[in-house]
Structure 1
Amino acid sequence: MVFRRWLRDCIGFMSARHRDLTVSDFSLPAIIIGLLIGCLLCFTNLYFGLQTGFISMMSLQSALIGYLVSRMLPTPLSPQEIILVQATATATGTMPLAAGFVGILPALGLINEERDGSPPIHLSWVAGIGWSCAVAFFGVFLSPPIRKQVIIEEELAFPSGTATAQLISVLHNLPPPETNLRRRKGYQSIEDEEDGEVARESGETTPRETTPLQGPEITPTASWHELLWSFVASGLLTLSAYFFPVIFAIPIFGNYLAREWAWSFTPSLSYVGQGIIMGFPTTLSMNMGMLVGWGILSPMAKFSGWAPGPVGDMTSGSRGWILWVSLAIMCADSLVSLLPVVWEFLVDTTLRLKRGSSAQLEGKDYGETETPDRLVPGRWIIIGWSVSVVVGIFLVWVVFGHEGIKPVATFAGYILGGLLSVLAVRALGETDINPVSGLGKISQLFFAWIQPGNIVANIIAGGVAEAGAQQAGDLMQDLKTGHLCGASPRALFYGQLIGSTVSIFVTTTAYSLYTRVYPIPGPSFPAPTAYVWLSFARLLRDGQLPENSSAFMIVFAAVFALIAAVKVYAVKKAVWWGVWIPSGVAFAIGFLNTPSFSIARLIGGILEYVFRTRYARSGGDIRLIVVASGFVLGEGVISVVSLILKTFGVGVASCWGCGQSGLCGGCPS
């Protein structure tokens, strides 16, 4: 109640004064609410990204929470302003991935001078700000120029953006948006398995009705109660686990397997919430990977002498050994998934040129649906992208020096990142998967040729490509939602820029606090994707692989290349069994994370499936999504409290029952 009163007093008086701005649908209350939600998501994504490599875009959840908050204002926000809220929130919340705080920067800290020819790089707060500014904006300028092509002319699905538009329509009791999805997409359940959000929504074409959409009963008071109790429950469990680490490291298969083989269980409500959001098919794929990686390959590597070190060691242990198999799976899956996108891009471009000529002869208009005052002017795009690249090259040179990466090479990285971002947008529109990791690997391959032997340059170049693809994809999802619900593209563009700017300081500050208190990578925050970046860079430099890992990499890459091809075919043909084909990326994440992370997510996935098939009142029943959002946000927010306690020297109350020699991250070794 105190928070609601404070929010009403601080924001409410502005709502009436900022309705009629120059930019339609742009309002200060929407921006403030979006930033508040985005900051919570930023801490949450940084926390879980460093733990598991998983980053959630949370666009659906941002729109939902924004709607609930806006209902407390004297004048609730319009549907278009709610879209601005979620656009600002997602731009703020995904910076940990876009700027590489969960992968790139920890990887630079793992560099070994004797092995890699360069000392480890640990950025200060100021240097972190500089690096973030270098990569935080150029991807934002890549989406508006291709918006007309992919959203209006080709009508790509962008299922998460479409799902958010449909949710907003339900919340505001509006006619459903005219999605006009091409029938060949046939999405019944679509997962985003890439370091980020997984959303599901029907892809059936929905005719526009003349009567309001009658969705399930959604009362703000009931939704607030569900969000609040789930938030409190998750937060209390997280705080309890800080003082008694065994709560999040239960040796369900015995202390020996927990201590020696990392088989424990983390009953985190946040992981359960993530599983609900990801859905049952994705969590099932992840746990299949967990069983194969940790139940078969890990013991095989250990007992065969291929990985003689401790199981959890990323250098000499079986966890580091199965990492290479995981990398092969991700690369194969990403490559096969991208090939049809590249082919369709070439075909569609050719057809568009022919169609454009025919349309001119026949007098047909395939023009823009928005008025110029609601669009992002072309000169803004040219100037903004040019300035962001020039400033970015300078900042990268200042932060990493000439020996880190040459300015010419950085410029090539921005150009390559821009080209790969187009593929990322198309892949996202086709499949709801933004293959940022796969595109980063392509950039690393390219830079292994430009600056051979330079580990630092290789990782940085991959980070630039990843940042561009992430930001371009995020904004295009928002633009799809805005197109369906009539929101101003220019307002969403502003929201993305504002959210990214604020998140630079929020993310860098949070990461600096974490690195002062915890070793990263370390027991509490293993940062698994950091090892992926560094291992791939080392492989490109010297080609050395752990003993007998190459054969397994080839076999698993071939198998999952075939599986990915079948999955692409199944999705395009809209067959019902397509969603049950294992996802290569999710399968590989099961290798990267210890079993404790995957089991809890499977519980969430099962809950989602049971609720959706047996208890959901209708296709738009969002009760479970509200609860899942509270679970995720609760642990993410209370993690800040844990960080403060750790900073002031408040340690665990008891390590009783842990018995894992520090693997839980709370007990001393």
Structure 2
Amino acid sequence: MQPRAILLGLLIGCLLCFTNLYFGLQTGWISMMSLQSALIGFLISRMLPTPLTPQENVVVQTTAAATGTMPLAAGFVGIIPALGLLDPTKDGALPVSLSWLGSIGWSCAVAYFGVFMSPPIRKQVIIEERLPFPSGTATAQLISVLHKLPPASETQVRQRKGYSALETEETPEEAVGDDDEDDETVRDHVRESDTEMERTVRTAGWHALAWSFLASGALTLFAYFFPFVFTIPLFGEYLAKNWLFTFSPSLSYVGQGIIMGFPTALSMNLGMIVGWGILSPLSKKMGWAPGPVGDMTTGARGWILWTSLAIMCADSVVSLVPVIWEAVAKLARRARRGPDDVFDKGDHNEVETEDRLVPLNWVLWGLGASCVLGTFLVWLVFGHEGIKPWATFIGFVMGALLSILGVRALGETDLNPVSGLGKISQLLFAVIQPGNVVANIIAGGVAEAGAMQAGDLMQDLKTGHLIQASPRAQFYGQILGSTLSIFVTVSAFTLYSRAYPIPGPTFPAPTAYVWLGLARLLRDGELPNKSALFMLFSALLFGALSALKTLGARRGARWTAYLPSGVAFAIGFLNTPSFSLARLVGGIVELLYRRARGYGHGDIGLVVVASGFVLGEGVVSIISLALRTFGVGVASCWGCGHGMCGGCPA
């Protein structure tokens, strides 16, 4: 079971859990941090009497990811705040505010279904179809370099079992000929790059992680006492006060920009320019959004939310079309070949022994128990008027189907379209329980939780497959990580909600308005003035872009990198400009650094620094929370005349 690896993963995961809740409530964006968890686990293990093995490092990052992603899986960055925004006159239901115990019950209801879905999906998409899962493969390659293993690849895994090279379908990167001088040059380059990565991590890793962590934490603490630091009116007081254009020099958001990369950060900022620089002033000037710009109901921020929602749905749904088509085509081919081929092929390709796999009876009992117990807990927490038990059960079934789609999309494109999958579930429940906004949000949350967990945990199973870690040990880590994270996430959210209004200036929880907005639209069909036209145009545009991007990526076309990501573009609408601008700084740093150093493994030092930046603010936010709870306020409100400083009175 590898207890020390699981314990270390739980420790790292708790830090990620606080960090993801903090940033998720601010911007709606969280990160699995699998690669970063593996890197931090390796650095910590160097202080142990016996360093971690590569397989233990896989268990560390698997456990950390399962622990750290619960804020999104259980809906604490979107669904729970959305239920608190319910209005009896608009929604026919009172606001739902869960107690600590009620939040625990809800989290337990959705925490395990996706975990038990993982083993059977693993057999299909990792063992039989061998989908690439780019982030999981990248993490495996990092671990192999840190622990001086041969480069992680599907060919290496299958050769361990006794397959010859002729029996494997090598990718172009793996099919290196022995007699080709160019191939030898490539191998030399890879060896040099790997040596540089190893030297960087072993000699400077701790120092880089420590100083970046301390720098980000110190700046965060300083900004707590002097809020002006994170709300600089970069474009003047007028734009800051009236149009919310400020700049936050937060090192954590710079680190996020480094991790997400320049293309994603650029897409986010293009969305920010269109949403906040064009559509926001237009809606205000034309009288479509007469309220204050920052108001989510009558202001421009609430008006552009609908365009953002249309972009996210169009991008996610269109990107799923080829995944659905291929899945249906494969099922049809297997049905024609007969049932024996369907089952025997997967067993033949399995590289693990039975004692290292998750037994089938565990999976069946786990899925059954999580569905039944989850249905009961949801009924217990929200009552019969919230959502009918039979409807909750359908939500779990829907979640299982959507999980398969999400996993396949993630395996092929490195993007898990959970936002779009949740919206699909909301559309279905508008028919199953029409007019019930609470049921619509809850059912969408149930489906999203399963799809999100099954998809993101599959990245870790891909890493474990390439490094030959035990799937059963990873399963233990996922179960224990999810269990601990329930209590950490609920307790942290309870403390934050007592110290700050959620949604509020410090934690706007932008995705809460997305969930509630779609539920209201499906209930009464009313849209803000003139927003339908912009929603239709943006949905058609980004649906077409998503189709081009998906088709081009499947053919290996490089030009797809120049097309904007629809989800990232839409996030630029949801967040105020300060968050997007800071991420752009990080994206530019990543671009310049990689161009200067080359696009090899030499940029791992930058990943270490970015990880320290992100964790520094996330961890020190716990100190800020404690100060706020005990009544310790800001030291000075100097410079906050624009009214955008969260800790100062407007």
TM-score when normalising by structure 1:
0.90
Aligned counterparts, 1:46-445, within 5 A: 46-179=21-154, 205-206=173-174, 215=194, 216=196, 217-354=199-336, 366-445=348-427
Q: What residue in structure 1 maps to residue 577 of structure 2?
A: 595
Q: What residue in structure 2 maps to residue 667 of structure 1?
A: 648
Cα deviation for residue 497 of structure 1 reads 0.3
Cα deviation for residue 351 of structure 1 reads 3.0
CA deviations on 1:595-635 (whole Å, 9 max, x unpaired) are 00000000100111111111258335310000000000000
Distance 1:363 1:97 in 2: 36
Q: What residue in structure 1 maps to residue 165 of structure 2?
A: none
SS where residue 139 of structure 1 aligns? helix
Distance 2:586 2:312 in 1: 24
Distance 1:209 1:127 in 2: 60
Cα deviation for residue 146 of structure 1 reads 2.0
Q: Given that residues 441 and 519 in structure 2 are in contact (C-alpha distance below 8 angstroms), is that contact kept between their aligned partners in structure 1?
A: yes
SS where residue 625 of structure 2 aligns? helix
Q: What residue in structure 2 maps to residue 4 of structure 1?
A: none
Q: What residue in structure 1 maps to residue 483 of structure 2?
A: 501
After alignment, is 314-323 or 203-212 more displaced?
A: 203-212
Aligned residue identity for 2:547: A
Cα deviation for residue 219 of structure 1 reads 4.2
Q: Given that residues 407 and 451 in structure 2 are in contact (C-alpha distance below 8 angstroms), is that contact kept between their aligned partners in structure 1?
A: yes
Aligned residue identity for 2:239: L
SS where residue 218 of structure 1 aligns? helix
Q: Given that residues 171 and 218 in structure 1 are in contact (C-alpha distance below 8 angstroms), is that contact kept between their aligned partners in structure 2?
A: no
Indicate how the Cα distance of structure 1 residues 656 and 487 shifts in structure 2: closer, same or farther if over 3 A, else same. Answer: same
Distance 1:364 1:654 in 2: 64
Distance 2:436 2:397 in 1: 19
Q: Which residue among 520, 538, 544 is the counterpart of 1:538?
A: 520
Indicate how the Cα distance of structure 1 residues 303 and 29 shifts in structure 2: closer, same or farther if over 3 A, else same. Answer: same
Indicate how the Cα distance of structure 1 residues 397 and 360 shifts in structure 2: closer, same or farther if over 3 A, else same. Answer: closer
Q: What residue in structure 2 maps to residue 8 of structure 1?
A: none
Distance 2:52 2:175 in 1: 26
Q: What residue in structure 1 maps to residue 432 of structure 2?
A: 450
Q: Given that residues 118 and 457 in structure 2 are in contact (C-alpha distance below 8 angstroms), is that contact kept between their aligned partners in structure 1?
A: yes
Q: Given that residues 68 and 224 in structure 1 are in contact (C-alpha distance below 8 angstroms), is that contact kept between their aligned partners in structure 2?
A: yes
Distance 1:29 1:232 in 2: 26
Q: Given that residues 135 and 459 in structure 2 are in contact (C-alpha distance below 8 angstroms), is that contact kept between their aligned partners in structure 1?
A: yes
Q: What residue in structure 2 maps to residue 521 of structure 1?
A: 503
CA deviations on 1:554-608 (whole Å, 9 max, x unpaired) are 0010000010011001101111111111010000000000100000000100111
Q: Given that residues 144 and 151 in structure 2 are in contact (C-alpha distance below 8 angstroms), is that contact kept between their aligned partners in structure 1?
A: yes
Indicate how the Cα distance of structure 1 residues 333 and 180 shifts in structure 2: closer, same or farther if over 3 A, else same. Answer: farther
Distance 1:487 1:391 in 2: 31
Indicate how the Cα distance of structure 1 residues 451 and 178 shifts in structure 2: closer, same or farther if over 3 A, else same. Answer: same
Distance 2:176 2:635 in 1: 59
Distance 1:617 1:407 in 2: 52
SS where residue 621 of structure 1 aligns? helix
Aligned residue identity for 1:314: M
Indicate how the Cα distance of structure 1 residues 218 and 209 shifts in structure 2: closer, same or farther if over 3 A, else same. Answer: farther
Structure having the higher helix fraction is 2
Distance 2:310 2:342 in 1: 48
After alignment, is 427-436 or 346-355 more displaced?
A: 346-355
Q: Given that residues 170 and 620 in structure 1 are in contact (C-alpha distance below 8 angstroms), is that contact kept between their aligned partners in structure 2?
A: no
Aligned residue identity for 1:27: Q
Cα deviation for residue 366 of structure 1 reads 3.7
Distance 1:354 1:610 in 2: 52
Distance 1:362 1:335 in 2: 33
SS where residue 65 of structure 2 aligns? helix
The number of residue pairs the alignment matches comes to: 622
Aligned residue identity for 2:74: A
Indicate how the Cα distance of structure 1 residues 148 and 306 shifts in structure 2: closer, same or farther if over 3 A, else same. Answer: same
Q: Given that residues 261 and 587 in structure 2 are in contact (C-alpha distance below 8 angstroms), is that contact kept between their aligned partners in structure 1?
A: yes
Aligned residue identity for 1:665: G
Q: Given that residues 416 and 456 in structure 2 are in contact (C-alpha distance below 8 angstroms), is that contact kept between their aligned partners in structure 1?
A: no
Cα deviation for residue 660 of structure 1 reads 2.0
Aligned residue identity for 1:259: K
Cα deviation for residue 358 of structure 1 reads 9.1
Distance 1:462 1:434 in 2: 16
Cα deviation for residue 222 of structure 1 reads 1.4
Q: What residue in structure 2 maps to residue 487 of structure 1?
A: 469
Cα deviation for residue 319 of structure 1 reads 0.3
Q: What residue in structure 1 maps to residue 160 of structure 2?
A: none
Cα deviation for residue 208 of structure 1 reads 8.6
Q: Can you give the 5+ residue segments of structure 1 that lack an aligned partner in the other structure?
A: 1-25, 182-202
CA deviations on 1:445-495 (whole Å, 9 max, x unpaired) are 111111100000000000001100111012211111111110111111111
Distance 1:204 1:588 in 2: 35
Cα deviation for residue 34 of structure 1 reads 0.3
CA deviations on 1:197-255 (whole Å, 9 max, x unpaired) are xxxxxx96335999995512234341000000000000000001101111000001111
Aligned residue identity for 1:441: K
RMSD: 2.0
Q: What residue in structure 1 maps to residue 167 of structure 2?
A: none
SS where residue 408 of structure 2 aligns? helix
TM-score when normalising by structure 2:
0.93
CA deviations on 1:118-160 (whole Å, 9 max, x unpaired) are 1101111110100000000011111111212111221111111
Aligned residue identity for 2:86: I
SS where residue 84 of structure 1 aligns? helix
Distance 1:213 1:33 in 2: 30
Percent identity of equivalent pairs: 68
Aligned residue identity for 1:266: S
Aligned residue identity for 1:561: G
Indicate how the Cα distance of structure 1 residues 357 and 208 shifts in structure 2: closer, same or farther if over 3 A, else same. Answer: farther
Distance 1:337 1:173 in 2: 37
Q: What residue in structure 2 maps to residue 610 of structure 1?
A: 592
Aligned residue identity for 1:667: C
Indicate how the Cα distance of structure 1 residues 356 and 268 shifts in structure 2: closer, same or farther if over 3 A, else same. Answer: farther
SS where residue 601 of structure 2 aligns? coil
Q: Given that residues 173 and 213 in structure 1 are in contact (C-alpha distance below 8 angstroms), is that contact kept between their aligned partners in structure 2?
A: no
After alignment, is 218-227 or 384-393 more displaced?
A: 218-227
Indicate how the Cα distance of structure 1 residues 385 and 226 shifts in structure 2: closer, same or farther if over 3 A, else same. Answer: same
Distance 2:252 2:79 in 1: 25
Indicate how the Cα distance of structure 1 residues 364 and 122 shifts in structure 2: closer, same or farther if over 3 A, else same. Answer: closer
Indicate how the Cα distance of structure 1 residues 362 and 126 shifts in structure 2: closer, same or farther if over 3 A, else same. Answer: closer
Indicate how the Cα distance of structure 1 residues 209 and 45 shifts in structure 2: closer, same or farther if over 3 A, else same. Answer: farther
